[in-house]
Amino acid sequence: MANAISYIGATIGCVVGVPATVDSAGFGALVYTTIGKIASFGEVGDTAADTTVDLLDGRIEHVNGAKDGGAVPFTIRADADDLGQPILKAQSNGNNEVSFRIVDPDGRISYFYGKVANVRDTERTSSNYKGFTGEVRVNSPTIRT
């Protein structure tokens, strides 16, 4: 049985644009800028619409329909010296596709692209840190290696 691993040490990078091919070779050919100080990066992967068929025999069949990568929320602690954070801020609520590479501590890599949206400052409270939140609206399948 494999040991559980945490995501401590995972890295996430981004680049404006899409790969020439939507596969590991295409995504792997891009040059990513690492995004620093990530506090959280949401669930990654497709969900499928539930298409149902009501049969005359009284059963309902379920068929997996259209795939959707959804919106992946992120929370980041501000770092004025970070090179990746300005990319997210500059692309927020625009229509450029941004490609992402996630490298997990066990070496597994996930790739996808989408539009960055809704980048906003974190809440200002006496016990909060300066940072920002946002989401990636995924427009490609998630490619895992």
3: pLDDT confidence band, cut at 50, 70 and 90? confident
Instruction: Classify residue 27: in a domain, yes or no.
Output: yes
Asked if residue 131 has pLDDT above 90, the reply is yes
Identity at 3, one-letter amino acid code: N
Instruction: Classify residue 1: in a domain, yes or no.
Output: no
DSSP H/E element including 138: strand 131-138
For residue 1, the model assigns a pLDDT of 72
- State pLDDT tens for residues 96-117: 999 999 999 999 999 999 999 9
pTM for the full predicted model: 0.93
What CATH number has the domain bearing residue 114? Answer: 4.10.410
- Please give the Cα distance from 143 to 140 (Å, whole number): 9
Number of domain units in the chain: 1
List own/partner pairs for 127-130 with CB under 8 A and 24 or more apart: 129/77, 129/78, 130/77, 130/78
Instruction: Classify residue 5: in a domain, yes or no.
Output: no
Instruction: Classify residue 87: in a domain, yes or no.
Output: yes
For residue 90, the model assigns a pLDDT of 99
Instruction: Classify residue 2: in a domain, yes or no.
Output: no
For residue 110, the model assigns a pLDDT of 99
Instruction: Classify residue 6: in a domain, yes or no.
Output: no
- Please give the Cα distance from 70 to 73 (Å, whole number): 10
Q: Determine the structural domain holding residue 122 and report its residue range.
A: 11-144
Give mean pLDDT, residues 71-77: 98
138: pLDDT confidence band, cut at 50, 70 and 90? very high
